[in-house]
Structure 1
C-alpha cells in the first residue's frame, strides 16, 4: 500500500501553542489546545478581575457577555437572541433535558454513536421523571440516506418526546446528516437536540439552516477558545421554557441571560473566545480545515497500514473537513471502557502519544485527530511503535 502524501504544514502554526514538544498530541478532539495569544487574553481578563472584583462583576459584565455571545453566534450563523453561553455541550444538553418537562411514558431517542456523558445525563433525567431512553443502532458504514431512514423508522410520534443526535460523533468520528434528520423529525412532531460538540471551527456550521429545536456546540475544541466555552442555541418556541441549572440574579431576564449568569463563575474563558476565532481566521479558516482533515486522513492510513488494516476497512467519515479518523484495533483489544482507558494510558506513557481509544459495538477503535500543530512524523512514529506495544498485551 502506498500512503498518500500529507498536506503541507501551515508555517509558524506550531509556535502558536505551548504544548509539550516531547509528546505527540494527536487527540485535539477531547480537550483542545489553547493558543498562546488566547491564553494571554484570558490572563489579562483575570488580572482585571482580580484588580477589582466588585467592579468586574457589577459594571458592564452582562453587556460584555452579550457582545461575546453575538460574536460567537455570528460565527455559527445562529440567532444571537436564542444563543446562550454555557460551560460545555454536556451542560447545554442537561439544561434542555430538565427544561422540556419529561413525564412517565415519554421517550428520549438517541443513537448508539452518542457521547457517553450525554447518555448518562439522559439516563439520569429519565430516572428522575419516569421517562425511558432508547438507542437506535446505526451501522458505521451506513449512508446518509440509510441513517435518515433508520431515524424515520425509529420515531414514535406521541411517545418520542425528544430525539438527540450528534452532528459529528465522538466515539466513531461519523458525520451525520443532521438537517435531513431534523426535517424527518419535524414531519412527525418530534423535537430534536443536535449535539454539535465537535462542529464549531472544524466544520462549516449554519445552525439556522440545520433547523433543530436545540443545538449545542463547544468552542474550546476546534474554535481555539479556552476550555469551558460552549453555546446552547434554542429555537423561538422553546425559549420561554428554558430554565437554568442554577438560579441566580439574571433569572428574571429569561433566556439566554438566565442560563449564562452563574454568579461568581469565572467568565474570562467566554470573554476570550473571540480571540480564538480571530486566531483561526488569521490562519485561514478553509486552509486550517483542509490541512487538519488531510493530516488526520494521512495518520489514519499510516496507522492502518502498520496494523495490517485493509484500506477498505478504514472508516470514511463522510466529509472533506472532518479532522478525526478511526483506526480499528486488532480483535479483542480495548473492547470495554476499562480496557480502552488502560490502553490509552499505556500509549501515553510508553509511546509519548496522546490518542483516544474507545470500545464501540464489540470492537476497539483508536481515534486520531489532525491539527495545525501536528506533523506527519508524529503519526509515522506512532505507527512504527504501536504494533509492538499491542503485541506485548
Structure 2
C-alpha cells in the first residue's frame, strides 16, 4: 500500500471505472428492473405492506450479493486483498460518488454512518453551536458537550423557519449550526439551501445532517455549498448498512476519529484506512448508484408520497404535518373511538409496518414510500387505521379510499 500512489489515483484524469466479473453479472441483473417490477428486488421482505423504509432502509438482493462477493473475496487471500486490491476500488467508489453528487473526489470521505461523520466534524469545534429544537436526538446528544442553543420552531412552514433562523442569528453569536436536511421522525424537508445561505451571511459554518438526503433528494454540492454534509447510503440508496459519506468544503480540514497509518498525510489519506474493517459496503457504492440510475425513482417516490398525504388526510379527516416533504409524509392520526392501544403493534399484526409516534403532544404517523411501495399499500393502511380505531362502515373515509385511483 502506497498512500502517495493512492492520492495520485484519486486525481488521475485518465482514471476509468473497472468492474469485476461478478459486478458485470450483477449489472446485467440490474438492467432487467424498472419501477414496475422493482419489488422483485426485495424477495426477503416478509411484511406485506412495508411503509417504514425511512427507519433503517432496506437492501435489495442484488446489492446484498455485491456486498457478499466482496466479503468472500477478502477471504481468498486477506493479505493480497488489503495490500493490492482494496485501495484502488475504494478510490473508484469515492470517484463515482463524487461525480454523482457533483463535487471533487478530494471533498468526499467514506464513513460508516452519519453519526460518525458528524462526530468527525465536531472534534474540530469548541464554543457555541446551534440547532433547531426538533433535531434528531442522537445528534443533539453529541452537541451536549458544547455551549448548545436550541432554536425553537413554533411554526414549520418554510418562511417561518427562515425568519426564525435569521432573527436568532441577528441576536446570537455561534460558530456552527447543525441542521437536518430532512427531519426525523417528522419527515420535514427543510429549506436547507436558504439555511446555508443565511448562515454564511452571518459567518456561521453549517454541518448538514443529511441522513435522509441522498436518494430522496437530488444533491448537487456545486449548488448547495454547505461547509459539511453527511448522508447515509443505506437509507434511500438502499445500500448494505455501514455505508455513508462526509462532504467537506475544501476550505476546511477534518480528521477522522481514529488516527491510523495515514496520519499527517492529509485528511483524505487519514480517512481511507481505519483499521482492518470489512469495507465491502463501501465497495458496493458503484453498483448502488447503477441501480439508482436504472430505476430513477426520486420523482416517482416523492409524487406517490404526495398522493399518500392527500388521500390519507382526506380519508382520516386530518392533515399532514407540513407541505414540505419528499418521500416521507407525516400525518396526524384520526381520533381513536375505542380504548387506547398500541396502534403500531396492531398494524403490524395485520401485515403493516409503519412508525407511530407523538410529536408536540399529537399522535402522528410517518409513511415512507420507496420503489417497492404502491398505492394499494397506502389504501390498505388508511382502511386498517379506520377499522382499528372503530369507525363504522358508513364513515365517509372508507368511500374516499375506495374512490382512490389505484
Do residues 194 (structure 1) and 208 (structure 2) align? Answer: yes
Pairing partner for 1:303 from 309, 312, 317: 312
Give the drift of 1:95.
Answer: 0.9
* SS of 1:250 mapped into structure 2: coil
The residue that corresponds to 1:326 in the other structure is 330
Aligned twin of 1:6:
none
Identify the match of residue 205 of structure 1 among 213, 219, 222: 219
Q: How does 1:10-29 map to 2 (within 5 A)?
A: 10-29=35-54
Q: Aligned pair 1:248/2:260, yes or no?
A: yes
**2:34 is the counterpart of 1:34:** no
**SS of alignment partner, residue 281 of structure 1:** helix
CA drift of 1:307 comes to 2.8
Please identify, of 73-82 and 382-391, the stretch whose mean Cα deviation from structure 2 is larger: 382-391
CA RMSD of aligned residues (A): 2.4
| Alpha-carbon distance in 2 for matches of 1:91, 1:332 | 40
Q: Please name the residue that 1:344 is paired with.
A: 344
Secondary structure of the 1:50 match is: helix
Matched, 1:132 2:136: no
Task: Name which one, 1 or 2, has greater alpha-carbon Rg.
Answer: 2
Cα distance in 2 for partners of 1:365, 1:192 equals: 30
Unaligned runs of 5+ in 2: 1-33, 392-406
* TM-superposed deviation, 1:232: 0.5
Tell me, yes or no, if the aligned pair for 1:224 and 1:277 is still in contact at 8 Å.
no
Q: CA deviation at 1:175?
A: 1.6
CA distance in 1 between counterparts of 2:128 and 2:243 reads 30
Q: 1:262 to 1:210 in 2, by over 3 A?
A: same
Q: 1:63 to 1:235 in 2, by over 3 A?
A: same
Query: Which aligned pairs between 1:1-393 and structure 2 lie closer than 5 A?
Result: 10-100=35-125, 102=126, 106-123=127-144, 126=145, 131-139=146-154, 141-143=156-158, 145-155=159-169, 159-239=173-253, 242-283=254-295, 285=296, 288-309=297-318, 313-318=319-324, 322-330=326-334, 343-348=343-348, 350-390=349-389
Deviation at 1:259, TM superposition (A): 2.6
Distance 2:54 2:36 in 1: 22
Q: Name the CA distance, whole Å, in 2 between partners of 1:227 and 1:205.
A: 20
For residues 124-180 of structure 1, the C-alpha deviation after alignment (integer angstroms, 9 at most, x for no partner) is: xx1xxxx3212212245423x332221111126884121011112222211222222
Is the contact made by 2:336 and 2:390 (CA closer than 8 Å) also made in structure 1?
no
SS at match of 1:109: strand
1: CA distance between counterparts of 2:122 and 2:336?
A: 36
Q: Secondary structure at the match of 1:11?
A: helix
**1:139–1:206: structure 2 CA closer, same or farther, 3 Å change rule?**
farther
Q: Distance in 1 between matches of 2:272 and 2:390?
A: 49
Q: CA deviation at 1:71?
A: 0.8
1:36-93 Cα shifts (integer Å, max 9, x gaps): 2111111111110111112111223222212211111111112310110011112111
Count of matched residue positions in the alignment of Structure 1 and Structure 2 = 356
Q: Structure 1: which 5+ residue stretches go unaligned?
A: 1-8, 334-338
TM-score (norm. length: structure 1): 0.84
CA distance in 2 between counterparts of 1:22 and 1:176 reads 31
Q: Higher mean Cα deviation, 288-297 or 369-378?
A: 288-297
